[in-house]
């Protein structure tokens, strides 16, 4: 009685799903939360140490800043649906993960900015809130991406029910936005666009498309699309060109949002968008490989 009952007794947590499952899910969530904090620091630190981002926290137009914060919410929910702190089964859980990521982004940004003495008791309220709000967007994205970068289960991607065409384009937009948030605030983007001629711009467009196509579809990187059974022109038209258009639109939005296009003519705007579209295209392509 003693041995066989003891071996198959109710003390084994594996044989007791009702009690065991919540424990495992809680453990997964806590691990995902820790990865999220690490991801927020890893991905947002370059922007938290950039002078232009500090200045924009105070000087950025409040309507544009508010719009960026509003856009970030559905963006984070969409990322959480693909890559959350744990595997989710409903949009309610995705919204929860997105809000937690936002909170992590706010806390991590405030902590780092205070550590660098960029936030002090003497900082004005507008500057204080603006700096944290602006930095919280990339930090929140980084918090969610930390799951895929810092130890997510490799089998998760195989179980992803939403890896269709729309999801591919969405992740391209995320990749372009994330990299553009690093570049758009800098004066170098505008300086480069003024130095370039139309021929340089055409060459940049061609190189952006070529690199993007090679990155995602022609090179056998993890997550890349193989061209063995698909004509190269099909992948180019269906994925690469729409992805590049998305990268350009995201670039245009980022430049406008940070006030880099104020007072610029149409030609200057086009040139600046093409310049920023180059890193944006690489970010869009890399998103498919690493997110």
Number of residues written out for the chain? 291
Q: Which residue has the higher pLDDT, 37 or 275?
A: 275
pLDDT band at 4 (very low <50, low <70, confident <90, very high): very low
Tokens of 77: 């929910």
Q: Which distant-in-sequence residues (6+ apart) come within 8 Å of 106 by Cβ?
A: 132, 133, 136, 139, 140
For the chain, where are the E strands, in sequence order? none
Residue 264: pLDDT above 70? yes
Q: Which distant-in-sequence residues (6+ apart) come within 8 Å of 283 by Cβ?
A: 175, 176, 177, 178, 179, 180, 247
The predicted pLDDT at position 225 comes to: 53
DSSP state of 218: I
Please, what is the angle between helix 165-183 and helix 266-290, to 10°?
A: 120
> Which has the minimum average pLDDT: 143-147, 217-221, 232-236?
217-221
Asked whether the beta carbons of 274 and 248 are under 8 A apart, the reply is yes
Residue 202: pLDDT above 60? yes
The predicted pLDDT at position 11 comes to: 44
pLDDT band at 287 (very low <50, low <70, confident <90, very high): confident
pLDDT digits (tens, 9 = 90+) for 64-97: 999 999 999 999 998 888 776 666 677 888 888 8
pLDDT band at 230 (very low <50, low <70, confident <90, very high): low
Q: How far apart are CA 258 and CA 125, in angstroms?
A: 20
Residue 206: pLDDT above 90? yes
Q: How far apart are CA 255 and CA 205, in angstroms?
A: 18
Q: What is the mean pLDDT of residues 204-232?
A: 70
pLDDT digits (tens, 9 = 90+) for 120-168: 888 888 889 999 999 999 898 888 877 666 555 544 544 454 567 788 8
Q: How far apart are CA 182 and CA 175, in angstroms?
A: 11
What is residue 114's three-state secondary structure?
Answer: helix
Q: What is the mean pLDDT of residues 232-244?
A: 81
Task: Specify which of 1-5, 99-103, 216-220, 286-290 reaches the highest per-range mean pLDDT.
Answer: 99-103
Share above pLDDT 70 across residues of the chain, in percent, rounded to a whole number: 75
Q: Which distant-in-sequence residues (6+ apart) come within 8 Å of 119 by Cβ?
A: 110, 113, 128, 131, 132
What is residue 61's three-state secondary structure?
Answer: coil
What is residue 209's three-state secondary structure?
Answer: helix
DSSP string, 134-164: HHHHHHHHHHHHHHHHTT--TTTGGG-TT-S
Q: How far apart are CA 88 and CA 69, in angstroms?
A: 24
The predicted pLDDT at position 33 comes to: 75
């Amino acid at each position: 009685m003693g041995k066989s009952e003891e071996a198959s007794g109710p003390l084994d947590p594996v044989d007791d799903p009702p009690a065991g499952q919540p424990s495992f899910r809680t453990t997964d969530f806590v691990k995902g939360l820790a990865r999220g904090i690490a991801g927020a620091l890893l991905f947002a630190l370059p922007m938290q140490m950039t002078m232009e981002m500090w200045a924009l926290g105070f000087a950025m137009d409040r309507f544009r800043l508010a719009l960026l914060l509003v856009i970030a919410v559905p963006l984070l929910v969409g990322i959480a649906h693909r890559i959350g702190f744990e595997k989710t089964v409903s949009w309610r859980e995705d919204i929860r993960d997105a809000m937690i990521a936002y909170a992590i982004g706010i806390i991590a940004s405030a902590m780092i900015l205070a550590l660098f003495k960029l936030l002090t008791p003497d900082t004005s309220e507008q500057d204080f809130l603006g700096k944290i709000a602006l930095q919280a967007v990339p930090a929140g994205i980084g918090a969610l991406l930390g799951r895929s970068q810092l130890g997510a289960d490799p089998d998760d991607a195989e179980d992803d029910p939403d890896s269709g065409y729309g999801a591919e384009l969405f992740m391209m937009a995320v990749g372009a936005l994330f990299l553009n948030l690093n570049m758009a605030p800098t004066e170098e983007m505008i300086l480069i666009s003024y130095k370039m001629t139309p021929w340089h711009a055409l060459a940049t467009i061609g190189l952006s498309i070529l690199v993007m196509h090679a990155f995602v579809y022609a090179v056998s990187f993890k997550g890349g699309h193989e061209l063995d059974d698909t004509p190269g022109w099909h992948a180019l038209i269906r994925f690469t060109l729409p992805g590049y258009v998305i990268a350009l639109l995201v670039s245009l939005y980022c430049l406008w949002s940070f006030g880099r296009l104020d007072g610029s003519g149409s030609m200057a705007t086009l040139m600046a968008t093409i310049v920023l579209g180059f890193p944006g295209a690489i970010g869009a392509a890399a998103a498919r490989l690493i997110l």
